[in-house]
Structure 1
């Protein structure tokens, strides 16, 4: 009864203010306590693709609160959407959850990546409480200055051979489709999610060499600009490493690894592996609307 009253009140508020009613609907009673963080970084969600683990991301976002949320590029996959429209309800729920966090006081900073490069022309503007930027600077609780960038500027393939990047993206897309089928079979046998594409990438020698070179290039940029560290995404490989006195952080992705980087309330930064924490089991898409209401 109380939930119905809250819904009616929210709808009346929407009618008067123009703000969507769902932004003000409270979390369901009995919902799990939220983990509180100072800062969270997520990237490479690739909304608009079949490889996006939207259900797992909504489950994660529903479980946390933070003062600042960085969306570190490739949130929406414009490359794929130009080829054909794919946007299930689960992807709407990701957007809805992020906007709800912004409405409730979280500062949300969206740094455009190469797959959502169409947003780079709008850097400096904001929509729905989400700030658009090309890059950002984050100051940790202990005073360290971190460069926050998607990271595609340090990828020689994307920067100097765009046609090769698109070709690689197509091959990667085929691998992700195989990953979807592979995990559909695992679900039938009640087995947890496991990324075939991530496993294959780690086993290919050239991919391992590329990742190492990329990390070094990003770290050297942070060193040359006088930062204490750098946070990026782009290569779908979560990592924390030391390079020449600075710290390299990669928050991973929500296609393969389902990871985020988080700064807790004491200033400590760590990778959150949501697959490991949930055992690879999470809410299914049909339950998303209820989970994020």
Structure 2
């Protein structure tokens, strides 16, 4: 696995595969500036978009598409034109693309799910993960209400962050706390990772790569590598595969509830290899 490098140097980092999910373009919570900085400095042979890149649910309610959303789309299309293979696996928020499996849009391939073979020969099932979310599958109205509540929580989060900064208090995510309460109420999130891992076991692969619950982690669960890419709404995380088959989980800077400073690039946080034991908490985030 390659050594960490100084982001501020502007040096491009080349990786074999890049996995990104839950960008939620069309949502006011999407951190497009951070994602653009990340995409400028990371070049990959293959980019896998693991669902909820576009937030169709929010766009249906009210159209919101600032220049930053266009910039992200154009950046991905430019990478595709320059030879990067880009695979788009739709999630529940961009489920309209599930009607177009096998279709190419500007060089971007749409797939329901894929088996990714890493450089070391390990095979990974890659899917968004919403098909294992009983709230989305069996109670769509409840899922939509939860999505509306999350929008409200994000708005409250912005206000609280501003007040706490003025008072000299540390950042605290109201939206993360609110999601935790909902997940306890539906008694569901604690089982999500186990169910996804079991799906990987049924597929007879070595691991699974997913998104959906907005909780980035790399762990081994009963012999199956579980990798969740996180999101670009709060945590701003991605997973990269290096040319030796090692995986890294990258958190793109400490958000602290603030917008990025002009012309300054955030630093990646510490990186965990897939072989490192990680305790999986039941309190993971849900989209």
TM-score, normalisation: structure 1: 0.79
* Helix, strand or coil at the partner of 1:275: coil
Q: Tell me the equivalent position of 1:12.
A: none
Match of 1:128 among 103, 106, 120: 106
Q: Tell me the equivalent position of 2:84.
A: 106
Report which stretch shifted further, 70-79 or 185-194.
Answer: 185-194
Unpaired runs of 5+ in structure 2?
Answer: 1-7, 265-287
Deviations 1:228-265 (A, max 9, x none): 10000001110112222111110000011100011122
Match of 1:74 among 48, 52, 67: 52
Q: Deviation at 1:279?
A: 11
Aligned length: 257
Q: Deviation at 1:35?
A: 1.1
Task: Say if 2:236 is the partner of 1:258.
Answer: yes
Report which stretch shifted further, 187-196 or 199-208.
Answer: 187-196
Task: Say if 2:41 is the partner of 1:40.
Answer: no
Q: Tell me the equivalent position of 2:274.
A: none
Task: Say if 2:68 is the partner of 1:90.
Answer: yes
8 Å CA contact 1:194, 1:280 repeated in 2: no
8 Å CA contact 2:50, 2:126 repeated in 1: yes
Q: Distance in 2 between matches of 1:193 and 1:90?
A: 25
CA 189–56 in structure 1, closer or farther in 2 if over 3 Å, else same: farther
* CA RMSD in angstroms, aligned pairs only: 2.8
8 Å CA contact 2:125, 2:203 repeated in 1: no
Match of 1:247 among 225, 229, 232: 225
Q: Tell me the equivalent position of 2:38.
A: 60
Larger Rg: 1
CA 259–141 in structure 1, closer or farther in 2 if over 3 Å, else same: same
1:138-287 aligned at under 5 Å gives the runs 138-183=116-161, 195-201=173-179, 206=184, 210-276=188-254, 282=260
Structure with greater proportional helix content: 1
Q: Deviation at 1:135?
A: 0.7
8 Å CA contact 1:74, 1:113 repeated in 2: yes
* Helix, strand or coil at the partner of 2:145: helix
TM-score, normalisation: structure 2: 0.81
Q: Distance in 2 between matches of 1:271 and 1:121?
A: 31
CA 217–183 in structure 1, closer or farther in 2 if over 3 Å, else same: same
